[in-house]
């Protein structure tokens, strides 16, 4: 009995020592992470844009990099790594070291639409560290300024009266331009074939098609439309912004016109990192983005580009992207769209 008791006590003591050792290792790791975050960044940070230079994503990234000059303590270098609808640059960041020196300017197409609609995509929507949503880039449905459709009700009535006759421009079936227009048809209880999509190379070409009269309407990112709207060449029918836009105070929102579900269809930018970023680094970035949110220069630049400043913290960002993936997954399933 004495021997068994001694053996049990010995085992218990060994377990206690192991627990203490594990706890000390955890504390040491936390301390090391905090110390690394204190020194971070001590060299330039690369911000990967998974699309070409000059587009909405590139402009959002360069605006963020410029606004961080005085608060970050190191340069933020924007690098364009375009291709495969944004998946090449996104995968590059997913596979990078989680040290905070390689980050991603995520967009709705690369972080929500592709994961929702492409079964063989090399990454999943949640294969990243979510740092923060930066801005919303609302969709705006427009017609040519000379069009006979004066408002959204006029357009919807014409589509109902002439099914399959009116057309709209997109940048491809699995893009937010097409999905926004289809969401509009769905919200108006119209079938997906009620209006005919015409695909162009990109958002600018889709806008030009409305300006030239090749198509009847388009739903595009405000950034691509704002100059033409202010130049009285395009007429706004509806915006997907939650409130009226500062630059377009007369443009009605989707909710005002009885289409509240359209609010979820919007472009956006978010800052993401590789999986496994240290909690201390994430907390540091949360604080940095809070400062960005108070930066008047950044907010003005965002609004000038036709976007809405909307800084979200990590948990809210993860929830937001998850909801976006679900939204576009449901739309893609309803429309029979799958990216191959």
Residue 13 confidence (pLDDT) above 60: no
pLDDT at 262 over 50: yes
The whole-angstrom separation of Cα 138 and Cα 240 is: 5
Q: Which of 184-188, 195-199, 251-255, 306-310 has the lowest average pLDDT?
A: 306-310
Is residue 286 in some structural domain? yes
Residues 228 and 271 in one domain: no
133 and 143 in a single domain? The answer is no
Of 224, 248, 264, the one marking the end of a domain is: 264
206 and 175 in contact (C-beta within 8 Å)?
Answer: no
The count of domains in the chain is 2
Structure tokens at 145: 């300024």
Residue 324 has pLDDT above 60, yes or no: yes
- β-pair partners for 239: 140, 253
In a domain, residue 11? The reply is no
Is 110's pLDDT higher than 80? yes
Angstrom distances, CA of residue 81 to CA of 101, 123, 187: 16, 16, 36
| pLDDT score of 260 more than 50 | yes
On whether both 124 and 273 belong to a single domain, the answer is: yes
Token digits of residue 1: 């009995």
8 Å CB contact between 115 and 85:
no
Residue 12 lies in a domain: no
d(CA 5, CA 12): 11
pLDDT at 70: 85
Residue 246: per-residue pLDDT: 87
Listed residue (297, 283, 262) closest to 180, CA to CA: 262
One domain for residues 77 and 105? yes
Average pLDDT in the chain: 91
Residue 235 φ/ψ, nearest 5 degrees: -110, 130
Pair 248, 284 in one domain: no
Other CB atoms within 10 A of residue 96 CB: 18
Judged against a pLDDT cut of 90, whether residue 9 lies above it is answered with: no
Q: Is 152 left (phi over 0), alpha (psi -120 to 50) or beta?
A: alpha
Is there a single domain that holds both residue 167 and residue 228?
Answer: yes
Per-residue model confidence (pLDDT) at position 1: 46
Q: 225 CB contacts (<8 Å, ≥6 apart)?
A: 140, 142, 207, 234, 306
- Does one domain contain both 260 and 162? yes
Q: Is the pLDDT of residue 265 over 80?
A: yes
Would you state the pLDDT for residue 141?
Answer: 98
Residues 143 and 241 in one domain: yes
- Direct distance between the N- and C-terminal alpha carbons of the chain, in angstroms, rounded to an integer: 70
* Among candidate residues 307, 186, 175, the one with its CA nearest the CA of residue 239: 307
Predicted confidence (pLDDT) per residue in 291-308, tens digit: 999 999 999 999 988 899
The β-bridge partners of 270 are 106, 133
Among residues 216, 212, 176, 225, which one has the least CA distance to residue 198?
216
Is the separation of the CB atoms in 239 and 253 below 8 Å?
Answer: yes
Clarify whether residues 130 and 273 are in a common domain: yes
Cα(244)–Cα(138) distance, integer angstroms:
11
On whether both 295 and 153 belong to a single domain, the answer is no
Q: What is the pLDDT of residues 142-196, one digit of tens each?
A: 999 999 999 999 999 999 999 999 999 999 999 999 999 999 999 999 999 999 9
Q: For 262-266, what is the mean pLDDT? A: 93
38 pLDDT tier (thresholds 50, 70, 90): confident
Task: Tell whether 205 and 256 lie within a shared domain.
Answer: yes
Residue at a domain's end among 233, 264, 295: 264
Give me the percent of the chain exceeding a pLDDT of 90: 78
**Distance of alpha carbon 74 from alpha carbon 48, whole angstroms:** 16
CATH assignment of the domain containing 256 = 3.40.190.10
Taking a C-beta distance cutoff of 8 angstroms, is the pair 89, 60 a contact?
Answer: no
Q: Give the start-end residues of each E strand in the chain.
A: 45-49, 76-80, 102-107, 129-144, 167-170, 196-199, 217-221, 234-239, 266-273, 308-309
**pLDDT tens-digit map of 61-109:** 999 999 998 889 899 999 999 999 999 999 999 999 999 999 999 999 9
Say if 39 falls within a structural domain. Answer: no
Residue 278: band (very low, low, confident or very high) from pLDDT cuts 50, 70, 90: very high
Percentage above 70 pLDDT, the chain: 89
Its domain, for residue 165, covers 138-264
Confirm whether 253 is domain-assigned: yes
Asked whether residue 83 falls in the same domain as residue 191, the answer is no
Strands (E), 277-331: 308-309
3-state SS assignment for residue 339: coil
Residue 168 lies in a domain: yes
Residue 205 lies in a domain: yes
CATH code: domain of residue 60: 3.40.190.150
Of 243, 264, 285, which residue sits at a domain end? 264
DSSP 94-109: HTS-SSSSEEEEEEHI
């Amino acid at each position: 009995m004495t021997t068994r008791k001694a053996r049990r006590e010995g085992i218990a003591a060994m377990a206690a020592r192991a627990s203490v050792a594990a706890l000390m290792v955890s504390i040491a790791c936390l301390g090391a992470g905090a110390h690394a975050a204190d020194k971070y960044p001590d060299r330039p940070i690369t911000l990967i844009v998974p699309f070409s230079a000059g587009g909405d994503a590139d402009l959002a990234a360069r605006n963020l990099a410029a606004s961080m000059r005085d608060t970050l303590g190191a340069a933020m270098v924007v690098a364009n790594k375009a291709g495969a609808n944004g998946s090449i640059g996104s995968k590059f960041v997913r596979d990078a070291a989680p040290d905070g020196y390689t980050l991603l300017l995520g967009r709705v197409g690369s972080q929500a639409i592709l994961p929702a609609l492409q079964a063989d995509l090399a990454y999943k929507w949640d294969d990243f560290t979510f740092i923060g949503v930066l801005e919303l880039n609302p969709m705006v449905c427009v017609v040519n300024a000379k069009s006979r459709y004066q408002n959204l009700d006029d357009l919807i009535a014409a589509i109902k009266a002439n099914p399959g006759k009116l057309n709209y421009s997109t940048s491809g079936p699995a893009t937010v331009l097409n999905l926004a227009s289809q969401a509009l048809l769905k919200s108006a209880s119209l079938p997906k074939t009620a209006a005919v999509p015409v695909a162009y190379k990109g958002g600018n070409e889709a806008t030009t098609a409305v300006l030239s009269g090749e198509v009847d309407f388009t739903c595009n990112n405000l950034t691509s439309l704002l100059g033409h709207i202010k130049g009285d060449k395009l007429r706004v029918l509806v915006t997907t912004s939650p409130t009226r836009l500062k630059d377009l105070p007369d443009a009605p929102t989707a909710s005002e016109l009885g289409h509240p579900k359209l609010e979820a269809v919007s472009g956006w930018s978010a800052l993401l990192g590789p999986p496994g970023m240290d909690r201390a680094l994430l907390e540091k970035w949360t604080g940095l983005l809070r400062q960005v949110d108070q930066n008047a220069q950044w907010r003005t630049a965002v609004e000038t580009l036709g976007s809405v400043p909307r800084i979200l913290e990590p948990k809210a960002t993860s929830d937001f992207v998850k909801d976006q993936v679900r939204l576009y997954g449901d739309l893609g399933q309803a429309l029979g769209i799958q990216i191959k």
